[in-house]
Amino acid sequence: MKQMFTFLLLFYLSHSLKAEQFSGSWTGSMKYMISLEDLKLNARMNFQQNGNYMLGILDLSSNENGKKISCEYLVYGWINKQRLEMRRMLILKNDGLENIDASLFVRADASFDFSEKENRIRASVFMKEENFLGPPGTLRLVQKDTALSAGLKELLQKYTAIFFPSTLQQPVITNTDFRTILWRKQLGDKPEFDFIPSKNNSPELKVGLYFNGIQIDRWNANEENTMKVDVTKLQDGMHCFVLKLETPAAESVRFSVRRSAANVVKDILFDISYTRQVIVIMGLDE
C-alpha cells in the first residue's frame, strides 16, 4: 500500500510539474494562406500560466519580398484532455495586413510534448470556427525560456485581472463570447447598458457584473439590471465589462444587453454559463 501511495504521489507531482511548464517564451513559425497568398510568419508566444489555464501574447512577423508584417494577439489557452485549446481575445497590433487578414488567428487546437531535450507545441490554426476560407494553418513553437520579463508578466497580470476576475473562485472559463463597442465621448456622456434576462432563467442563479476587473454588481439571473457609465471620467482606450454566472450549475442563462445613448438603442443577445462568460470591449476615444 505504501508503494502504491508513493507511486501515485510521484505520478501526481510529475503531472503537476508538467502542467506548469507552459509559462515562458516560445518561438517558431506559422504558415497560413490568406488572400490567395501563402504566408510563413515568424511566431513568438509569451505565456503566463495559472493552473490549468494560461494567458499569452502571440507575436507574428515577417519581412519578406518587401512586405513587412507585424501583428500581436492576446490569446487565452487551457488544457483539455491532453490538448491545448487556444482562442484569440484581442488584436493588440496590426501592421501590414488588411483587417480581414489580421483576424487569421481565431482559434488553435494544439498538441504538446515535454521532454528533457525540449518542449514543443504543434497546432492547427483556424480562421473562424468553421474555417470555411480554406485549410487550417500550422503553428510550431519550441520553448526557449521558462521565465518572462517583468514587463510582460505585469502586462499579462493586468489582462488577467480585467478579463478573468475572481478566477480562483471558479473553474476554468473554457469559452468566452467577445463583443466590441466603439464609443466616442461626444456621442453622450452617460451611456446605459440594460441587462434584460430571459423569462426562462432560473431565479436561483446569480450573475456577476465586472467593470475593468472590479465587481460592481451581483443579482438574480431572472432580474433586470442597468449599468451606467460616465465616460467623461474614463481615460481613452480599452474598457470592458464581464458578465458571468457565479452559481455552480449545469444550465445556462440568456441575456440581452441593450445599449442606450445619444438616441441610439442596440440589443445584443448572448448565453452564459458557469464555464462560459461574455466580455464586451468598449473602445473609447474623443
Q: Is the pLDDT score of 95 beyond 80?
A: yes
pLDDT of residue 45: 95
CATH 2.60.40 segments of the chain: 167-285
Express each pLDDT in 141-200 by its tens digit: 999 999 999 999 999 888 888 887 765 455 567 777 777 776 666 655 577 888 999 989
Distance CA 242, CA 145 (A): 32
Q: What is the mean pLDDT of residues 196-223?
A: 90
pLDDT of residue 207: 92
CA 96 to chain centre: 23
Percent of the chain's residues with pLDDT above 70: 80
CATH 2.40.128.120 segments of the chain: 2-163
Mean pLDDT of the chain: 79
Question: pLDDT class for 13, splitting at 50, 70, 90?
Answer: very low
Q: Is the pLDDT score of 15 beyond 70?
A: no
- b/e map 187-221, b = 16+ CB within 10 Å: ebeebebbbebeeebeeebebbbbbebeeeeeebb
pLDDT of residue 110: 92
Q: Are strands 276-285 and 175-184 parallel, antiparallel or unpaired?
A: parallel
Bridge partner list, 271: 254
Express each pLDDT in 180-196 by its tens digit: 776 666 655 577 888 99
Distance CA 239, CA 191 (A): 13
Q: What is the mean pLDDT of residues 206-212?
A: 88
Torsion, CA 190, CA 191, CA 196, CA 202, rounded to 10:
-60
Give long-range contacts, CB 8 A cutoff, 24+ apart: 127-130: 127/32, 127/34, 127/103
The structural architecture, per CATH, of the domain 2-163 is: Beta Barrel (2.40)
Question: CATH: 2.20.28, 1.20.5, 2.30.130, 2.60.40. Which one for 167-285?
Answer: 2.60.40
pLDDT of residue 168: 47
pLDDT greater at residue 162 or residue 224: 224
Express each pLDDT in 23-80 by its tens digit: 999 999 998 876 667 788 999 999 998 877 888 999 999 887 777 889 999 998 888 7
Q: What is the mean pLDDT of residues 119-142?
A: 78
